[in-house]
Structure 1
Amino acid sequence: MDNLFETINKFDNNITVVLNNSRLTIDLNDTKDRYCTEEDGGGECFPYEAVVSSFFIKLLKYMNGDDLKYKKFAEYIILWLFYKLNQKKENEISNLNDFHNKYIKGNENHIDKINGAGSYNSYKNIINNKKYLNTIDIKEMSKFYVPLKSLCKLYTEYSKKKKNYTTCSQDAQDFAKHFEGLNQDSNITENISYREILSSLSIDYNDFKNECAKNCSYCNDIPTLSEIKTPPSSLMGSKLTSVLLIFAAISISFGIAYKYSLFGFDKRRQRQYLRENLKKIKNKMNYYI
């Protein structure tokens, strides 16, 4: 996982967006010559979205693979893409489908030429496996970028400093604050796709917490995340199922009592059986209502 988060940081630092006097510019650091005809900016450069898409595909290809870590990495890279695209508000891209249709579709050869052979196929494999992300809103997805960056910081700083990671607790609290903010947002927790991403962040944070606590004394008091909130509809569905099961139990109890009467069982024993079962059922109903 360390390599995963270090890679995100490395690529993220190579493409920064600056807003000066309401004008958005892009700083490509030492990679500017690959996207502009002149380093001083006097020549023509690829559009902002084209540069972002190129970095996005490079990231996917860089960590290509079939294991679970790669699938999670791809999910995080899509978060990175959405955040970068959302920084340019006028780009008129609302979701991953829009991005694909405007900057990827029909550009297979161009993509492979810039990013290396097989880059387009790497991209397509990811998109096909992450179809649930194709239509969700870029603005909502961009909210996950801040906790993702905080998580990247935790992993990369710990990787470098190990037991000397003195700001571990403070950095962990920063992540927890952003995570809990999303967990309190009903627009996030009531969407199954967003909840899956929250779950990924939570799992990776807990893995970090357990690993860091073993080796660094500064990590002993880092916060514990709350459970991801369940949508009200799911709770209602669970309660309704329980109530239906209770009514089924009532029917079965009366059916058994009826059979007792047919076969001549003692009526006192029959009444005692009914009272005991009805009492249990009543207690269960009080619990679920």
Structure 2
Amino acid sequence: MTENMCKRFENVWSDFPDQLDKGNYQLTDDGYSESLFTNKNADNDIDKVNAVSFWLFKQILWDSSSSTIKAKSNINIVHYIVIWLIYMLRLKNDEQIDNVMKFYNNCISPDQNYINSIKEYYSYKSYMDLINSKLFLMNKGIKDISMFYDTFKSLCKMYNEFNEDDLNCAKNLEDAQKFVEKYEILFNNNDTEDSLYSQILSILSTDYDNFVKRCYEKKNGCGNFPSLPAYSRSSSPKNALISITFIFVAIPIFFGIAYKTIYKRKDKKNKVGNESLYMIRILAIIPGIVIIIDICLVTAYLEIRNL
């Protein structure tokens, strides 16, 4: 499915470049408009982005034969389409206008074109649910969308340039290394496992692993592909808190286990009574530190004499 998606995006990148030309979008193929608009072309910037994004959803996710969205696992691809959508809209953002919200308010929420175009596949509400669940969250929750977009393009470059007839893995390994470098930057910028950010990282990771598996299955002598970083206990904020708590709990335990008392008694009699000398040694062992504390106690008691 990722292979099919990347081929569709390859068409989009050719016909609708992700760089502005003198401050304007350049859409070179009016065929995208036909999938959404029945009586007009995509004349303005928002209409252009609207038509292409709708085409992507339609080509990648919808199954016209069953009038349903394709397999549930493919819903992950919505993240990629929305990343592209937000990136394209932000190309023309200014300080006064959030083009993502402008796009939603002007093109999706009230647009009769969507209602008419989606009718033959599945309900308008289903499409709205997809947009609502992803577009709002990703627009507000992911600040470095351009880095995600760049990593996603790197992923598709690997898939689009894969050639089963070429048994040499050198090009695949080179593309994989570039992808991993971009992924590592995103991974290191993340500060929690429980987030939309981490969810998208997981999707990217799965698609990368599938690509590597495909290389090993179809080619020979591929060597070792670079591995993606993974979360460990020490890198998780939640687990770090647990570790810190454990240290504070463990210290008294160390003290308790390492507690050692050396009992010495020396009795000395004098005219008024006996004196006893006790020495208590506490040995505290903390990794890297040994603390020895000697405490001397002197007790005295009167001797009762028979008068």
For normalisation by structure 1, the TM-score amounts to 0.68
Q: Tell me if structure 1 keeps the 8 A contact 2:151–2:183.
A: yes
Pick one of 217, 224, 243 that aligns with 1:221. 224
Q: Using the TM superposition, give the Cα deviation of residue 66 of structure 1 relative to its aligned residue in structure 2, in angstroms.
A: 5.3
Percentage of identical aligned residues: 24
Residues 235-250 of structure 1: pairs in structure 2 closer than 5 A:
235-240=239-244, 242=246
1:180-199 aligned at under 5 Å gives the runs: 180-184=184-188, 186=189, 188-190=190-192, 192-199=195-202
Secondary structure of residue in 2 paired with 1:203:
helix
Equivalent AA in structure 2 for residue 223 of structure 1: P
Partner of 1:29: 29
1:46 and 2:51 equivalent?
A: no
Give the helix-richer structure, 1 or 2: 1
Whichever structure has more strand as a proportion of its residues is 2
- Please list the CA deviations of residues 40-69 of structure 1 after superposition, one character each: whole Å capped at 9, or x if unmatched: xxx985321222122212222331325343
* Aligned AA (2:240): M
Q: Give yes or no for contact 2:80–2:152 (8 Å, CA) kept in 1.
A: yes
Q: What is the one-letter code of the residue matched to 1:70? A: N
Q: What RMSD over aligned residues (CA atoms) do the two structures have, in Å?
A: 4.1
SS at match of 2:25: strand
What whole-Å deviation, never above 9, does each CA across 1:215-237 have from its counterpart, x for those lacking one? 22363232111225876632432
SS in 2 for 1:143: helix
Q: Structure 2 unaligned runs (5+)? A: 63-68, 257-283, 288-307
State the match for 1:9 in structure 2.
10
Instruction: Give CA deviations for 1:241-262 in whole Å, capped at 9, x if unaligned.
Output: 5458769999xx9xxxxxxxxx
Q: Which amino acid aligns with 1:133?
A: M
Q: Write the deviation string for residues 97-156 of structure 1: whole angstroms up to 9, x where unpaired.
A: 55422431111x22244676447444213134436435324x522321111111112122
Equivalent runs, 1:1-289 vs 2, <5 Å:
1=1, 2-20=3-21, 22-29=22-29, 31=31, 34=34, 45-62=42-59, 63-64=61-62, 65=69, 67-90=71-94, 94=98, 97=101, 99-107=103-111, 109-113=112-116, 117=120, 118=122, 120-130=124-134, 132-133=137-138, 135-137=140-142, 139-158=143-162, 161=165, 163=167, 166-184=170-188, 186=189, 188-190=190-192, 192-217=195-220, 219-228=222-231, 233-240=237-244, 242=246
Q: How many residue pairs get matched?
A: 253
Q: Give me the whole-angstrom Cα distance separating, in 1, the residues matched to 2:88 and 2:175.
A: 23
Corresponding residue SS for 2:77: helix
Structure 1 residue ranges without an equivalent (≥5): 37-42, 254-277, 284-289
